[in-house]
Amino acid sequence: MTTTYVLRGARPLGGEPADVVLSGGVITEIAAPGAAAVPDDAAADVVEIDAADHVLLPGLVDLHTHLREPGREDAETVASGTRAAAAGGFTAVHAMANTSPVADTAGVVEQVWRLGQEAGWVDVHPVGAVTVGLGGERLAELGAMADSAARVRVFSDDGKCVHDPILMRRALEYVKAFDGVVAQHAQEPRLTDGAQMNEGVVSAEIGLAGWPAVAEEAIIARDVLLAEHVGSRLHVCHLSTAGSVEIIRWAKGRGIDVTAEVTPHHLILTDELARTYDPTYKVNPPLRTAKDVEAVRAGLADGTIDIVATDHAPHTREDKDCEWGAAAFGMTGLETALAVVQQTMVDTGRMTWADVARVLSANPARIGRIDATQGRPVAVGEPANLTLVDPAATRTVDGAAQATASGNTPFAGRELPGRVVATFLRGRATVLDGAPVAAPAGATRGGAR
């Protein structure tokens, strides 16, 4: 027996209050508050949720998550990472390919896809590697991954830049055959050899090797021109500089088919944090300056930047609790992403909740070509992939209390606004009262496509 949920007085996309009824995996009714008819069938299992003043969003979609399985199950597994995703309000994630073995064959992407289905927390869409072993030398079997059960549409060597322009050109040409996209980690390797943090005043003062903005911008400029030349689709991962925003704005003005993402941490944190020498703040691309933070906020608000993607990058204590130079790059983000977007964009008046639904759900679903089932409007007949948020709540982030298996959150001890009260995947609650609920094994089997 499946449960019918009645969300009383929720505000779809932050609009007028309504009763929203979820039944049989879809939204079956949206009525005036108090008017939704509750089935009085004794056999029906009906749960009413007081959602007064809660914002109802389409389930969030992350285009950039590191789940670490296979290979680094000590940092995260598909099960722990997707449970963290559900806790953060997500109903779908794209799992990056830099696993061990690398997700560069149909076999590996199908394994990750199946593990996602078995876990049942969110839809897991594997990202396929662009080059064999992320080696940057030979194209991987992009077509075989696209045709596999995992139906891969996003290809990325994330963690490494596809720096050979001929390979990048071929990849862009190749993915056109199946409407795929190449998601580039834009980092000129020679300009960033040994780099530890943003190159600027702070790196000069504290004596860490700098990663100049131009190393990101030069690759983005090259790639938008390549995408234009071959008439293909490019996505830019985690852009972080004011110059990158300008280049994307220029490319879009020219009609180039490019999309771009910014991470929550680049919307709020700056390279001043490197003065602590706390490797929690070591990330790729590095935290930049306040001027860059302002530029990415403006770019997100005006649509130049299409999406917020977490770049959730869990690392074990051993890989993070060491001196800065030896520590791994990356920070977790699934369970704090929505709160950071609320704080930086909604509570500042720069974006509405409808805009949040666009950058955290509809746009990433469209870029990943999963928009037949995810990132849909909150409307009758649509799949009940939904997130219920209490924007008035606040919390102090406790790394140890998070669902992710890794503790490298840069927001530990910070007070952040908003709380994910409930998450629904095809009408089934994965989170209730702010806590993940046990997902039956194989709960999403057959439904994730």
Ligand X SMILES: NC(=O)N[C@@H](CC(=O)O)C(=O)O
Question: Quick check: helix, strand or coil at residue 208?
Answer: coil
Asked if residue 188 binds Zn ion (CB under 5 A), the reply is no
Handedness of CA 128, 129, 132, 134 (dihedral sign): negative
Question: CB under 5 A: which stretch of 15-23, 155-163, 207-215, 243-251 binds Zn ion?
Answer: 155-163
Asked if residue 311 binds Zn ion (CB under 5 A), the reply is yes
Asked if residue 158 binds Zn ion (CB under 5 A), the reply is yes
Least separation in angstroms between residue 312's CB and Zn ion is 8
Of 312, 223, 212, which is closest to residue 259 (Cα–Cα)?
A: 223
Least separation in angstroms between residue 158's CB and ligand X is 5
- Nearer to ligand X among residue 184 and residue 444 (C-beta): 184
- Nearer to Zn ion among residue 96 and residue 365 (C-beta): 96
Q: Which residue is nearest to Zn ion (CB)?
A: 185
- Nearer to ligand X among residue 56 and residue 287 (C-beta): 287
Strands 428-432 and 435-436: antiparallel
- Nearer to ligand X among residue 6 and residue 127 (C-beta): 127
Judged by beta carbon distances under 5 to 8 A according to partner kind, the member of ligand X, Zn ion, none in contact with residue 199 is: none
Do 142 and 171 form a contact (C-beta atoms < 8 A)? yes
Asked if residue 185 binds Zn ion (CB under 5 A), the reply is yes
Judged by beta carbon distances under 5 to 8 A according to partner kind, the member of ligand X, Zn ion, none in contact with residue 82 is: none
Q: Please, what is the angle between helix 106-119 and helix 78-87, to 10°?
A: 50
Only one residue has tokens 């666009």, namely 358
Least separation in angstroms between residue 265's CB and Zn ion is 12
For the chain, the maximum distance between any two Cα atoms, rounded to a whole number of angstroms, is: 70
98 annotated ligand binder: yes
So which residues are the catalytic ones? 311
Judged by beta carbon distances under 5 to 8 A according to partner kind, the member of ligand X, Zn ion, none in contact with residue 98 is: ligand X
54 annotated ligand binder: no
Asked if residue 8 binds Zn ion (CB under 5 A), the reply is no
Q: What Rg, from alpha-carbon coordinates, does the chain have? A: 21
229 annotated ligand binder: no
- Nearer to ligand X among residue 19 and residue 311 (C-beta): 311
Least separation in angstroms between residue 326's CB and ligand X is 14
Of 85, 211, 102, which is closest to residue 158 (Cα–Cα)?
A: 102
The number of C-alpha atoms within 13 Å of 70 and in the hemisphere containing its C-beta is 13
Least separation in angstroms between residue 62's CB and ligand X is 12
355 annotated ligand binder: no
Question: Quick check: helix, strand or coil at residue 102?
Answer: coil
State the Cα–Cα distance between residues 165 and 161, nearest whole angstrom: 11
Question: CB under 5 A: which stretch of 107-115, 303-311, 355-363, 386-394 binds Zn ion?
Answer: 303-311
22 annotated ligand binder: no
142 annotated ligand binder: no
State the Cα–Cα distance between residues 328 and 325, nearest whole angstrom: 8
Helix (H) or strand (E) holding 293: helix 290-301
Catalog residues that contact ligand X under the rule CB under 6 A.
66, 98, 158-159, 185, 283-284, 311, 313, 329-330
Of 312, 280, 295, which is closest to residue 127 (Cα–Cα)?
A: 312
408 annotated ligand binder: no
- DSSP code string of 345-386: IITTTS--HHHHHIIIIIHHHHHTT-TTTSS--S-TTSB--E
**Total interface residues for Zn ion by CB under 5 A:** 3
Which residues fall within 8 angstroms of residue 303, CB to CB, at 6 or more apart?
A: none
- Nearer to ligand X among residue 77 and residue 444 (C-beta): 77
235 annotated ligand binder: no
Q: Please, what is the angle between helix 242-253 and helix 213-230, to 10°?
A: 10
Do 355 and 388 form a contact (C-beta atoms < 8 A)? no
Residues placed in the known binding site: 64, 66-68, 98, 158, 185, 238, 284, 311, 315, 329-330
Binding-site positions for Zn(2+) read 64, 66, 158, 185, 238, 311
| Binding-site positions for substrate | 66-68, 98, 284, 315, 329-330
* Chain residues that interact with Zn ion, rule: CB under 5 A: 158, 185, 311
